[in-house]
Chains A and B, each alone.
Chain A
Amino acid sequence: MSELRVENLSKSYGKTKALDRVSLTVNPSEFLVVMGPSGCGKTTLLLTILGVLRADEGHVYIDGEDIDDLRISKRNLGYAPQDFGLFPHLITYENIAFGLRAKGFGLSEIDSKVKAKLSQVGLEGLEQRKPDELSGGQKQRVALARALAIDPCLLLLDEPLSNVDEVTKADVKANLKETIKRTGVTTICVMHDPEDALELGDRIAVMHTGRIIQCAAPKDLLEHPSSEIVQRLLHHLLKRI
């Protein structure tokens, strides 16, 4: 189980600062939720850790090793984007097997790993379906299984519940939480919904205009908001609860 450390990460798009000296540590096996409104920089943070974006300043460390110059394919990070990013031409089985094939595993090993992941996320029987034959919740499970199949050192989730319908959301959320706890993978998950964030995260990092303004356990966050901005943000975000 790996530790993620982000140090003084900054990233600007023209004059807009998407990330402003962001520092945080995600402990081994911890589930950290980065929460904040749209445009606060949370997806930029995720994509910088993934290696799609390059930070203007700062560093990303996994288990103390600077990964800034490591290619995306060599970082061994499990990533599931907001739209799940399933390969539309591949069936569920092949979607999950993709990373294992790319990493050169043998056929029998691929088969046993894919079957294990299918059962772990409750997708047995859907192996032969293509993404357009799956519901939002099922797609989310395939994306999760595919990201976990490569035994990543870190799991990066971008709004995993935003394309899941309300009826199945509770199930998908429970499965997500249970699967991640069972595998013990260190997870950083971007979310805008406070209800989901507080339910899933071991800790919540609240982001606002490119900065992390508070990082605390859900209970502490609710009881001791560190600033008026957090209070307002939480109030604004929590008004539905």
Chain B
Amino acid sequence: MTTRDEGNKSSNRRALDKFNLGLRLMAGAFILFMLTSLFYLYVAVGNSWNLVANALFDSRILGALWISVSSAFIVGALAIAVAIPTSYILTYNEFRGKQLLETLLIEFPQTFPPATVGLVYLLMLGPGSPINIAYTYPAVLIAKLYVSAPFALSFILRRFREIHKSGLDVIAESLGGETRQILLWVLLPLSSIDILGGFSLTWARAMGEVAATLIFAGAISWKTEIFPAVVYLTSQSAPEVALAASLIAAMLSIVALMFFKWVAGRRR
């Protein structure tokens, strides 16, 4: 407690500083900018509450709820399952082109337009290809996985590298540990918070992804239609449905992300 009290005192002293006031103003403006859209969503919902309330239990909305949430969880789990071995290989192996490969796996998918991702998958695994899975639930998973798995990979890879730098893996190895023991007894337990962090960001990105999924998987109710697709497709024709879908998606994301943070905080 003493440390916290002292910390409060010193930050209060710093608050008198003009430069500090400037920082607060800039931070305040940004926070306002970020929160306004969310606040306005609730205002808009409030203005047409009766229509939105009826739309909340619309079959189309419930279908989108199921597809969005289930696919985001599966994509999160798949991303972790592939990010762990990939992080291990990238941490412990040196090879030509490693920097380029990492860029293609982590940063590039975040800048590559999701619409293009959807188009590529549609051409590669669509009606014109021997394996046609377009407009199916697996197509939803594939499109979301490409766009969101880099988050899990970057979290886990960074943590594995930190542990490698600390030399704890070498200690484990000197004690007779082989790959399995080093991974299961050292790397994974020491990365649990980062794995959870990677999962939650992957989950969040998968929830928000729309363009790749819409192009490759379409928007078939109860099969491939996700929340953002409902919003996109109904924003003109049935704005109350779009608002209801947005409201549920926003609430769900906030609750889920706070839950992940709470779990991570308990583990720390």
Q: Which residues of A contact B (CB under 8 A)?
A: 50, 52, 71-73, 75-79, 81, 85, 87-89, 98-99, 101-103, 146-147, 150
Contacts and interface: CB of A to CB of B under 8 A. Distances in A.
B174 A75 contact: yes
A98 B189 contact: no
Given A85-B167, A87-B168, A102 B189 contact: no
Contacts of B126: none
Interface in B162-215: 166-168, 170-178, 181, 185-186, 189-190
A73 B189 contact: no
Given A73-B174, A102-B178, A150-B175, A81 B190 contact: no
Contact of B176 (A85, A87, A102): A102
Contacts of B172: 87, 98, 102
A146 B175 contact: yes
A208 B176 CA distance: 33
Contacts of B189: 89
B53 to A, nearest CB: 48
Contacts of A99: 175-177
Contacts of A77: 174
Contact of A89 (B170, B174, B190): B190
A147 B186 CA distance: 17
A140 to B, nearest CB: 14
A73 B190 contact: no
B190 A98 contact: no
B188 to A, nearest CB: 10
A87 B186 contact: yes
Contacts of B178: 73, 102
Interface in B68-124: none
B244 to A, nearest CB: 44
Contacts of B167: 81, 85
Given A87-B186, A88-B190, A98-B185, A73 B171 contact: no
B190 A103 contact: no
Nearest to A50: B174
A50 B170 contact: yes
B176 A76 contact: yes
Nearest to A72: B173
Interface string B46-85: 0000000000000000000000000000000000000000
Contacts of B186: 87
Most chain A C-beta atoms within 10 Å of own C-beta, residue among B174, B178, B189? B174
Contacts of A88: 190
30 contacts: A50-B170, A52-B170, A72-B170, A72-B173, A72-B174, A73-B173, A73-B174, A73-B176, A73-B178, A75-B174, A76-B176, A77-B174, A79-B171, A81-B167, A85-B166, A85-B167, A85-B171, A87-B168, A87-B172, A87-B185, A87-B190, A89-B190, A98-B177, A98-B185, A99-B175, A102-B176, A102-B177, A102-B185, A103-B175, A147-B175
Most chain B C-beta atoms within 10 Å of own C-beta, residue among A52, A73, A79, A88? A73
Contacts of B177: 73, 98-99, 102
Most chain A C-beta atoms within 10 Å of own C-beta, residue among B167, B172, B175? B175
Contacts of B168: 85, 87
Nearest to A104: B176
A74 to B, nearest CB: 8
Contacts of B181: 101-102
Nearest to B189: A89
B114 to A, nearest CB: 38
A99 B190 CA distance: 18
Closest 8 A/B residue pairs (Cβ): A99-B175, A102-B176, A72-B173, A79-B174, A85-B171, A102-B177, A103-B176, A89-B189
B171 A81 contact: yes
Contacts of A102: 172, 175-178, 181, 185
A48 to B, nearest CB: 13
Given A52-B170, A79-B174, A150-B176, 18 more contacts: A50-B174, A72-B174, A77-B174, A79-B170, A79-B171, A81-B171, A87-B168, A87-B185, A87-B190, A89-B189, A98-B185, A99-B175, A101-B185, A102-B175, A102-B176, A102-B177, A102-B181, A146-B175
Most chain B C-beta atoms within 10 Å of own C-beta, residue among A52, A79, A102, A103? A102
B268 to A, nearest CB: 11
Contacts of B170: 50, 52, 72, 79, 85
B12 to A, nearest CB: 30
A63 to B, nearest CB: 18
Given A85-B167, A89-B189, A89-B190, A98 B174 contact: no
Contacts of B171: 79, 81, 85, 87
